Structure 1
Amino acid sequence: MTSQYKFQGWLGLDPSSAQGKMQWKEYEPKTWEETDVDIKVTHCGICGSDLHTLRSGWAPTIYPCCGGHEIVGTAVRVGSKVQKNIKVGDRVGVGAQSGSCLKPECEECASGMENHCPRMVGTYNGKYPNGSKSYGGYADYCRAPSHFVIKIPDSIPSAEAAPMLCGGITAYSPLKNNGCGPGKKVGIVGVGGLGHFGILYAKALGADSITAISRTSTKKSDAMSLGADKYIATDEDPNWAKHHARSLDLIVSTVSSPSMPLEKYLQLLRTHGQFIQVGAPEDRLPAFNVFSLIQKGSRIGGSAIGAPHEIEEMLELTARKGVKPWIQERPLKEANQAVRDMDAGKARYRYVLVNEGNDAKL
């Protein structure tokens, strides 16, 4: 079958693309398989991962790279072997993952932990088993294996659903999997694209109290409006760790700075408390005294996005509880400026690119 549409999008050709120097070009998508779905992209969130990848921050990027892994649009082609209840015309989305081995002998895939599969394929800058590259959603169309394509509930607007598919699940998964709910006091480090989702989902999951932690009080009003009960401005109270010691059962850290005060964050944990890192710096985390863990029997861990069934669960909770992310819509044609603004920290709190369907202007 010959495609009736072109795969074209904003491509990063070298590390300078993270400075807003992407170029609009056509590219060859993943080789079609009958388990695939083609999506006409209407919305795509901008994630911090896009910037890290465009500039080869975490590792050398496979250029050309089309960023964007918070994709929502319309299914325009559905393979004959797609087992999910997806049909042409459905509103669907793809998050940060679009492949794993899915083999029955794979402990992770067989246990519903596809996001931890050793052969995970990212929605962009990845390689599929058939040798094809993966390309993201700063584009007109996206092709993805159906196992990782999610139907979007009718009650969630596309512009709001898009950033949930990476930013939302990255915050929701460690909260849900580490006991966030009634009886728990939760801290969220960083009030940004990820952190604001952390506050929203901690609230939706019924945490007893939510403490937002940031360097200054400039975002205090926003944090309280999102649902936080308390706020710690670490630059404004030299004794903040002492004043709030042993106050939290669970901390989810969304910041990605190698200079963050990790040891002081650990002081905030109660006995058997947990510190879960989701922000991914391009350098190492700072050293800390191991007695910060030993004395209280606390734990430090990490979390990576979420499996497809977790995304579906999160979207169901979102629809049921009326979770509303704070987003700012930007035209896809202005993707380069939006990337620059994202890197400058101007987003409040998630940019979403809107594909207006006007190729002449792109």
Structure 2
Amino acid sequence: MSQDYKFEGWLGKDKDSANGNMVWGEFPHVKPFEETDVDIQITHCGICGSDLHTLSSGWGPTPYPCCVGHEIVGKAVRVGSKVEKGIKVGDRVGVGAQNSSCLKPDCEECSEGLENHCQHTVNTFADQYPDGSYSYGGYADYHRCPSHFVMKIPDGLPSEEAAPMLCGGVTLYSPLKNNGCGPGKTVGIVGVGGLGHFGVLLAKALGADKVVGISRSNAKRDDVLKLGADEYIATSEDKDWATHHARSLDLIISTVSSPNMPLMEYLQLLKVKGTFIQVGAPEDQLPQFNAFAFIGKGVKFGGSMIGPPWQIEEMLNFAAEKKIKPWINEYPMKDANQAIKDFNAGKPRFRITLVNEKHL
């Protein structure tokens, strides 16, 4: 099958690109096409905090030039003869934050459906394949991905809403589902921004008895209650909030990553045998905490990172079935730099999706 298109997109060439200074260009080291691959003509791509961390080299040196964006939705335009999942040319498909893993039968993680924890993961952008080629993300016209990590998008899910679910959505769905969110449970979501708003929507859809949004100020209170939260805690404004709400939550998902967050007070909110799951990925250390915060109530502290392909597909179907509606701000792909600036300024309520209008 011939290829009559170029792999081009918004390239970050140095740390300053995180300030909205990306430049459009051709990708220099694209992965050679294999018969297990799918090429996607991109129509939509969500903006995630990970994009900014990578553009700025906040998590470590970035292999510039890079094209970020790992919440990709579009049309399959080239499909290898050995693709999985029955994907065909013309299908609406998506890719999340992971492009590859070893998929070897003797890999404990891959063989157990935990590909996101494989030691040989290739991320969707700014990462290198074993052959030396690089992965390039979705602020672009086209994307190439091994089919194991390509998902069909359910018919009932609009592309602009499906895109941010592929990373932001599953980052909350996975720890909620894996830690028993459902009827009879009370759930707290710390940090109700782009990630956290998915937590409120999904926890309610999963049937939690009570969902509590937790943020620093009251600025988002009305919006969070409109999302479906039953209560809201403003930690910098509500007097004695940790004491007043002590032992009230079975599960807390934390999307924030500040070294100054009141972690010990968050742990006070857990019931006996409760669970605290960290999903926000900091560029520096988490606050210090006391072991007695765990020992006294027998609570657990854990972490979670995206989700495996099967769970992303499960979440997409669940979102379509429950008609979950994330709050999306749409920007044309040509305005990606402005979208980055607005993201940095905290303007979106609550996610940004870039729309590649020439491919609609």
**Shared fold (TM-score, shorter chain, > 0.5):** yes
How far apart are residue 2 of structure 1 and its match?
4.6
Name the counterpart of 1:208: 209
Name the counterpart of 1:254: 255
How far apart are residue 258 of structure 1 and its match?
1.5
Amino acid at match of 1:158: S
- What is the distance in 1 between the residues matched to 2:232 and 2:66? 39
Q: What whole-Å deviation, never above 9, does each CA across 1:52-82 have from its counterpart, x for those lacking one?
A: 0000001110111100000000000000111
How far apart are residue 269 of structure 1 and its match?
0.3
- What is the distance in 2 between the residues matched to 1:329 and 1:207? 30
Amino acid at match of 1:263: M
- What is the distance in 2 between the residues matched to 1:344 and 1:103? 43
Moved more, 255-264 or 322-331: 255-264
- TM-score normalised by the chain length of structure 1: 0.98
Name the counterpart of 2:179: 178
Q: What whole-Å deviation, never above 9, does each CA across 1:186-208 have from its counterpart, x for those lacking one?
A: 00001100000000000110001
- TM-score normalised by the chain length of structure 2: 0.98
Name the counterpart of 2:87: 86
Q: Does 1:196 align with 2:201?
A: no
Amino acid at match of 1:187: G
How far apart are residue 237 of structure 1 and its match?
2.1
- What is the distance in 2 between the residues matched to 1:76 and 1:168? 26
- What is the distance in 2 between the residues matched to 1:62 and 1:307? 25
- What is the distance in 1 between the residues matched to 2:308 and 2:117? 8
- What is the distance in 2 between the residues matched to 1:258 and 1:305? 22
Moved more, 110-119 or 21-30: 21-30
Counterpart of 2:311 in 1: which secondary structure?
Answer: helix
Alignment map for 1:302-317 (pairs within 5 Å): 302-317=303-318
Counterpart of 1:193 in 2: which secondary structure?
Answer: coil
Name the counterpart of 1:270: 271
Moved more, 235-244 or 247-256: 235-244
Q: What whole-Å deviation, never above 9, does each CA across 1:82-131 have from its counterpart, x for those lacking one?
A: 13210000000000001101011111100000001111110001111222
Amino acid at match of 2:216: R
- What is the distance in 1 between the residues matched to 2:192 and 2:178? 21
Alignment map for 1:1-40 (pairs within 5 Å): 2-28=2-28, 29-40=30-41
- What is the distance in 2 between the residues matched to 1:317 and 1:261? 33
Name the counterpart of 1:241: 242
Name the counterpart of 2:338: 337
Q: Does 1:118 align with 2:119?
A: yes
Gaps (5+ residues) in structure 2?
none
Gaps (5+ residues) in structure 1?
none
Q: What whole-Å deviation, never above 9, does each CA across 1:16-71 have from its counterpart, x for those lacking one?
A: 00001100001142111111000000000000000000000011101111000000
Counterpart of 1:98 in 2: which secondary structure?
Answer: strand
Counterpart of 2:174 in 1: which secondary structure?
Answer: helix
- What is the distance in 2 between the residues matched to 1:100 and 1:354? 28
- What is the distance in 2 between the residues matched to 1:338 and 1:257? 23
- What is the distance in 2 between the residues matched to 1:146 and 1:277? 29
Name the counterpart of 1:49: 50
How far apart are residue 238 of structure 1 and its match?
3.7
Q: Does 1:107 align with 2:114?
A: no
Q: What fraction of aligned residue pairs are identical, expressed as a percent?
A: 69
- What is the distance in 2 between the residues matched to 1:80 and 1:11? 31
- What is the distance in 1 between the residues matched to 2:265 and 2:168? 25
- What is the distance in 2 between the residues matched to 1:237 and 1:61? 40
- What is the distance in 2 between the residues matched to 1:206 and 1:118? 34
Name the counterpart of 2:166: 165
Amino acid at match of 1:26: E
Q: Alignment length, in residue pairs?
A: 358
- What is the distance in 1 between the residues matched to 2:55 and 2:246? 39
CA RMSD of aligned residues (A): 0.9
- What is the distance in 2 between the residues matched to 1:88 and 1:172? 29
Amino acid at match of 1:9: G
